[in-house]
């Protein structure tokens, strides 16, 4: 029988190794853990344990310490240097992670701390596996000066190199101030926890000193602010446990890297399942609102989907879901918010989502019910032309399978932008009541027949007649199909089967863009 190694083993100082490892695990101050818990926050290792499969974490550089001197740093050299790094698995698939340990230097980044993050980022890129950062730090370590700032530069460069190659997810579980906030901004998804996480470039104290404005940390950069107003956060949750569970769910929908296809799940929901409820969910009257998410629930596997940026730019729904077990990205105009118009924020939200899906081979399904772009001086002066063009550019540049369905109406330039056949959709379908036109019949008739209506004995009766005339000539459901701009007009009940068959056909789609270093998208 083999002997079990013990600390008394001759010639092998296992006791010292065990002691150092325990120091690295527990941290230099036992009271620091209590203070972390008192704030309603978990420790770095507790968070990693929730994120990864049980007992799957392999830590790297646990015994690393900084070598800085001055300002008393030479007397404070704890193991890990305030960041825990390594890899593990989520549902059996490799994931790399780093987690700031707020108990040590407030999670502030120094030279050694940054070097550990650089290493794990390089490992993730080399291994072709997702990277998750658990952020809870006070920014750059002031005592280390410019070397700390250079550490951030190395992180940003690696974020950019990994963009579109491996999924990058930033989870905000505490403060993130100054330049540190740019790493999450460069990642694919940002998760935040209400009450404990904040992000801002300049904190409340600086804001007050410069502008005289008094504001709290949460009001300046809390989870709800970034989830609803700035659009920085894609997801916001009430507690860390729920947040990390949702990170695991998101990872289950994503490929490990851009060379792999998204993971397919066994589909218990039959792909040929029809949805009679769709006949009543979408009102025939184009001016009546409804929640397009009810349509998603009818056509996706078991009605499940993960909405991205749910609280920001709600007039466009972006979601990851499965259809017949295949992961898809869905974009849908939302008539329940701003009548489903496209505006600056919705365009930017949609463009980023399309680019992400295209980067990681996730097919795109677009559900169209759009009255146009939002008019007004605020939109025009805010740059709706260049910013709306971002969504157009993203669609035109996407080479993944692309399928669009006009649910009700599609007017003007917004029709073109929402993945119409003319900009490269592989397949375009429409429900029988669809209206695809330059504008609604009421507005069009008022322009085309303006003089005739004005000269009529009964202008109102003439206007109604001309509206009907325009609608019957140009806006009827089959006008676009007759001209090859739709592949078919489908029974709404068969939307799911039609989409599942189309996705199956397009699985092996192979499309190349012109050779170039990179495009120059509108900013």
- The residues that are catalytic are 178-179, 413-414
Per the CB < 8 A criterion, the answer to whether 188 and 182 are in contact is: no
Residues 106, 134, 173, 31: is their CA dihedral positive or negative?
negative
Using DSSP's 3-state secondary structure scheme, residue 132 falls into strand
The count of residues in the chain is: 523
Please give the Cα distance from 252 to 370 (Å, whole number).
32
Rounded CA-CA distance 57/49 in Å is: 8
Lookup: tokens for 88: 């593990």
| H-only helix segments in 326-376 | 344-359
Q: Name the pairing type of β-strands 175-177 and 198-200.
A: parallel
Reduced to 3 states (helix: H, G, I; strand: E, B; else coil), residue 329 is strand
Q: Would you give the distance in Å from CA 458 to the centre of its chain? A: 54
235 sits in which H/E element: strand 235-237
* DSSP secondary structure letters along 462-521: HHHHHHHHHHHHHSSTTHHHHTTS-SEE--GGGHHHHHHHHHHHHTT----PPS-S----
3-state DSSP helix/strand/coil percent for the chain, to nearest 5?
A: 45, 20, 40
Q: Are 428 and 404 in contact (CB under 8 A)?
A: yes
Give the strands of the sheet with 131-135, arranged side by side: 58-60, 83-90, 93-100, 131-135, 168-172, 189-193, 235-237
* Rounded distance between C-alpha atoms, residue 348 and residue 521, angstroms: 12
Task: Please give the torsion angle defined by the CA atoms of residues 350, 355, 357 and 360, in that order, rounded to the nearest 10 degrees.
Answer: -170
**What residues contact 157, with CB distance under 8 A and at least 6 apart?**
none
Residue 168: phi and psi, rounded to 5, are -125, 125
Rounded CA gap, 60 and 363, in Å? 36
- The torsion angles phi and psi of 264, rounded to 5 degrees, stand at -95, 140
Q: What angle do CA 236, 242, 244 make, to 5 degrees?
A: 85
Match 């056509």 to its residue by tokens. 299
Q: How far is CA 301 from CA 59, 248, 324, 327, in A?
A: 37, 19, 6, 10
């Amino acid at each position: 029988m083999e002997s079990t190694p013990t600390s008394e083993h001759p010639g092998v100082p296992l006791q010292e190794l065990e002691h150092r490892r325990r120091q690295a695990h527990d941290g230099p101050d036992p009271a620091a853990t209590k203070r972390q818990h008192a704030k309603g926050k978990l420790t770095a290792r507790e968070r990693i344990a929730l994120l990864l499969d049980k007992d799957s974490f392999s830590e790297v550089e646990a015994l690393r310490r900084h070598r800085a001197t001055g300002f008393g740093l030479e007397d404070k050299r704890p193991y890990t240097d305030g960041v825990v790094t390594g890899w593990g698995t989520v549902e059996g698939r490799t994931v790399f992670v780093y987690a700031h340990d707020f108990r040590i230097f407030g999670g502030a980044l120094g030279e050694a701390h940054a070097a550990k993050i650089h290493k794990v980022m390089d490992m993730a890129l080399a291994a072709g596996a997702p990277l998750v950062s658990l952020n809870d730090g006070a920014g750059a370590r002031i005592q280390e000066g410019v070397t700390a700032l250079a550490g951030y530069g190395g992180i940003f460069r690696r974020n950019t190199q990994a963009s579109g190659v491996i999924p990058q997810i930033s989870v905000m579980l505490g403060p993130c101030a100054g330049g540190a906030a740019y790493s999450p901004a460069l990642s694919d998804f940002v998760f935040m926890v209400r009450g404990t996480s904040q992000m801002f470039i300049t904190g409340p104290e600086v804001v007050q000193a410069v502008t005289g404005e008094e504001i709290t940390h949460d009001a300046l950069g809390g989870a709800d602010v970034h989830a609803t107003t700035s659009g920085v956060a894609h997801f916001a949750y009430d507690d860390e446990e729920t947040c990390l569970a949702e990170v695991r769910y998101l990872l289950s929908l994503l490929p490990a890297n851009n060379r792999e296809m998204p993971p397919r799940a066994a589909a218990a929901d039959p792909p040929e399942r029809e949805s009679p409820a769709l006949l009543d969910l979408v009102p025939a009257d184009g001016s009546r609102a409804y929640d397009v998410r009810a349509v998603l629930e009818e056509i996706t596997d078991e009605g499940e989907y993960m909405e991205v940026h749910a609280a920001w730019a709600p007039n466009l729904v972006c979601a990851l879901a499965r259809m017949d077990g295949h992961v898809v990205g869905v974009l849908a105009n939302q008539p329940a918010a701003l009548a489903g118009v496209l505006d600056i924020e919705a365009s930017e939200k949609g463009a980023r989502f399309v680019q992400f899906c295209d980067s990681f081979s996730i097919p795109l399904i677009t559900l169209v019910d759009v009255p146009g772009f939002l008019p007004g001086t605020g939109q025009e002066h805010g740059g709706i032309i260049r910013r709306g063009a971002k969504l157009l550019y993203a669609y035109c540049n996407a080479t993944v399978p692309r399928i669009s369905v006009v649910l009700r109406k599609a007017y003007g330039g917004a029709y073109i932008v929402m993945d119409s056949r003319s900009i490269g959709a592989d397949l375009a379908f429409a429900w029988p009541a669809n209206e695809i036109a330059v504008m609604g019949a009421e507005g069009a008739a008022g322009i085309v027949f303006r003089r005739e209506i004005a000269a009529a004995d009964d202008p109102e009766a003439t206007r109604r007649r001309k509206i009907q005339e325009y609608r019957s000539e140009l806006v009827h459901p089959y006008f676009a199909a007759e001209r090859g701009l739709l592949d078919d007009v489908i029974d709404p009940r068969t939307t799911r089967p039609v989409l599942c068959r189309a996705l199956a056909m397009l699985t092996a789609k192979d499309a190349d863009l012109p050779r170039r270093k990179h495009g120059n998208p509108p900013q």
